C-alpha cells in the first residue's frame, strides 16, 4: 500500500526535480469527460491523491497566449508497464487549458511535473479504529478516488464508493472504477438516487459501523464542506482532496493558500491537496470548483 502513514501537516512529499516529457498513449470519452493516458518513462509511481502539473507541448501558450501556465490534475490511475508508468487523467473541458488537454491525441507530447503533494493516508492512520473506507466523489472530483479504491483493494481494505453528478453532461469517469459496488446519485435523477451524493453518505453514517470507517472525499467545494460538517458532527474522521487555483504547484507562488482551522495558512499544493477535515476552517475554497 503506498500511503501507510498519515503525513503530518508541514511534512512534505518530495517530487522529482523539473518537468518531464511524456507521450500520450490514448484519449477516450468517458461520459461527459475524457480519460487521457501518458507514459512516464522516468518518474516514480504516484500515490492516490497526488497531482501533476500538465501542459501540452504544442498548442500551449506561444503567440496565442492562454493557456500559459501548466494546469493541476489529480492522477486517476497509474500502473507500471514496460517502458514506464502509465498515468491516466480524467478531464472536464471547461476552459483553454482543460480543452487543449482533452483534445490531446496519441503520439502527442505532454509535459508533466510531479507527482506532487500530500496523498490520502491509510484508514488506520486517519482514525485508529477504522477497519475500512468510505469514498465519496462529486463530478470531476471522482478522479483521485478511482486510484485510491484500487490501492485499497490491493491492500485488502474494504471500501464503499459513493459517486454523485449534477446531470448527464457533467458526469463520467465510471470506467475508471471497474467495479459494480458503487452507489450513484444525480441531481437530475438520470442515474441512481435523485439528489445529492451526501444523502447517501448520511445513510451510511447513521449505520453502526460508521465510526469504524474513514471517509475520503473529493468534489465541488459545497459537497466537500457538507462532508466535512457531517463527519465533524458525527465524530467520523475524514480526509478531503481540496482544490485551489494553482499557478506553480510546488510552493513558490502562494496562490493556493487557504486558512487553517487554528490560525495561519497552508499552501494547498505542498501541504495538501489532501487535508484532514479538522485541519481546515472550511472546504469552501475561493476560486475553486466548476
Ligand atoms: C489539485 C488539483 C487537482 C485537479 N484535478 C483535476 C482533474 O483531475 N480533472 C480536471 O478536469 N480538473 C482538475 N483540476 C481543475 C483544473 O486544474 C482546472 O479546471 C484548470 O486549471 C482550469 O484551466 P482552464 O484553462 O481550462 O480554465 P480557466 O480559464 O483557467 O478556468 C475556467 C473556470 O474554472 C475555474 N478554475 C480555474 N482554476 C481552477 C481550479 N484549480 N480548480 C477549480 N476551478 C478552477 C475558473 O474560476 C473558471 O471559472 C484540479 C485542480 C487542482 C488544484
Ligand atoms: S500553487 Fe504556487 S504555492 Fe501553491
Question: How confident is the model at residue 261, as a pLDDT?
Answer: 92
Instruction: Tell which one of 74, 75, 95 to mutate to probe ligand 1, the residue whose CB is within 8 A of the most ligand atoms.
Output: 95
Which has more confidence, 208 or 164? 164
3-state secondary structure (DSSP) of residue 122: coil
Distance CA 128, CA 137 (A): 23
CB-ligand 1 contact for 151 (6 Å cutoff): no
Q: How many CB atoms lie within 10 A of CB 252?
A: 11
pLDDT of residue 1: 45
Does residue 289 line the site of ligand 1, with CB under 6 A?
A: yes
Residue nearest to atom 4 of ligand 1 (CA): 73
Task: Report, as an integer, the average pLDDT of 226-230.
Answer: 97
* Choice among 83-92, 204-213, 242-251 with the minimum mean pLDDT: 204-213
Average pLDDT value for the chain: 92
Ligand 1 near 50 CB (within 6 A): no
Sheet order of strands, 109-116 included: 71-74, 51-56, 109-116, 20-30, 33-40, 84-91, 77-81
| Cell digits of residue 38 | 501518458
- Write out pLDDT tens, residues 247-263: 999 999 999 999 999 88
Give the number of the ligand closest to the Cα of residue 271. Answer: 2
Give per-residue pLDDT as tens, 74-120.
Answer: 999 999 999 999 999 999 999 999 999 999 999 999 999 999 999 99
Cβ proximity of 280 and 258 under 8 Å: yes
Band (pLDDT 50/70/90 cuts) for residue 138 is: very high
**In 174-267, where does DSSP find H-type helix?**
197-206, 221-234
Q: Is the pLDDT reported for residue 266 higher than 80?
A: yes
Peptide bond between residue 67 and the one before it cis (omega within 30 degrees of 0) = yes
245 alpha carbon – ligand 1 mean position (Å) = 7
Binned at pLDDT 50, 70 and 90, residue 10 comes out as low
Whole-number percent of the chain with pLDDT over 90? 82
Structure confidence at residue 193 (pLDDT)? 96
Model confidence at 133, pLDDT cuts 50, 70, 90, reads: very high
The set of protein residues with a Cβ atom below 6 angstroms from ligand 2 is 246-249, 251-256, 267, 269
Q: What pLDDT, on a 0 to 100 scale, did the predictor assign at position 257? A: 95
Q: With a 6 A CB cut-off, is 173 part of the ligand 1 pocket?
A: no
Higher pLDDT, 20 or 63: 20
In this predicted structure, what is the pLDDT of residue 231?
A: 95
Q: Is 244 a residue whose pLDDT tops 70?
A: yes
Tens digits of residue pLDDT in 143-183: 999 999 999 999 999 999 999 999 999 999 999 997 667 99
Question: What is the helix (H) or strand (E) element at residue 232, kind and residue range?
Answer: helix 221-234
Q: How does pLDDT run across 18-45, given as a tens digit for each residue? A: 899 999 999 999 999 999 999 999 999 9
Model confidence at 201: pLDDT above 60: yes
Per-residue pLDDT band at 5 (split at 50, 70, 90): very low
185/147 Cα distance (integer angstroms): 20
pLDDT number for residue 14: 76
- pTM greater than the 0.85 cutoff: yes
7: left (phi over 0), alpha (psi -120 to 50) or beta: beta
Amino acid at each position: 500500500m503506498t500511503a501507510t502513514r498519515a503525513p503530518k501537516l508541514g511534512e512534505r512529499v518530495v517530487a522529482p526535480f523539473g518537468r518531464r516529457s511524456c507521450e500520450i498513449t490514448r484519449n477516450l470519452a468517458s461520459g461527459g469527460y475524457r480519460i487521457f493516458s501518458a507514459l512516464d518513462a522516468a518518474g516514480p509511481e504516484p500515490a492516490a491523491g497526488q497531482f501533476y502539473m500538465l501542459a501540452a507541448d504544442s498548442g500551449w501558450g506561444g503567440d496565442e497566449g492562454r493557456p500559459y501556465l501548466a494546469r493541476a490534475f489529480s492522477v486517476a490511475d497509474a500502473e507500471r508497464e514496460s517502458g514506464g508508468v502509465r498515468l491516466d487523467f480524467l478531464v472536464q473541458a471547461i476552459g483553454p487549458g482543460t480543452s487543449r488537454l482533452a483534445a490531446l491525441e496519441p503520439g502527442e507530447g505532454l509535459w508533466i511535473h510531479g507527482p506532487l503533494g500530500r496523498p490520502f493516508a491509510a484508514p488506520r492512520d486517519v482514525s485508529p479504529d477504522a477497519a475500512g473506507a468510505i469514498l465519496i466523489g462529486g463530478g470531476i472530483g471522482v478522479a483521485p478516488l478511482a486510484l485510491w479504491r484500487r490501492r485499497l483493494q490491493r491492500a485488502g481494505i474494504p471500501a464503499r464508493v459513493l459517486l454523485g453528478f449534477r446531470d448527464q453532461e457533467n458526469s463520467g469517469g465510471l470506467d475508471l472504477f471497474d467495479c459494480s459496488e458503487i452507489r450513484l446519485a444525480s441531481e437530475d435523477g438520470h442515474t441512481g438516487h435523485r439528489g445529492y451524493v451526501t444523502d447517501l453518505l448520511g445513510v451510511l453514517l447513521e449505520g453502526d459501523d460508521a465510526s469504524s470507517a474513514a471517509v475520503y472525499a473529493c468534489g465541488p467545494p459545497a459537497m466537500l464542506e457538507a462532508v466535512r460538517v457531517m463527519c465533524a458532527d458525527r465524530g467520523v474522521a475524514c480526509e478531503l482532496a481540496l482544490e485551489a487555483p494553482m499557478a506553480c504547484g510546488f510552493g513558490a507562488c502562494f496562490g493556493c493558500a487557504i486558512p487553517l482551522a487554528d490560525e495561519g495558512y497552508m499552501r494547498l499544493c505542498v501541504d495538501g491537496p489532501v487535508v484532514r477535515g479538522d485541519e481546515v476552517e472550511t472546504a469552501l475554497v475561493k476560486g475553486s470548483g466548476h
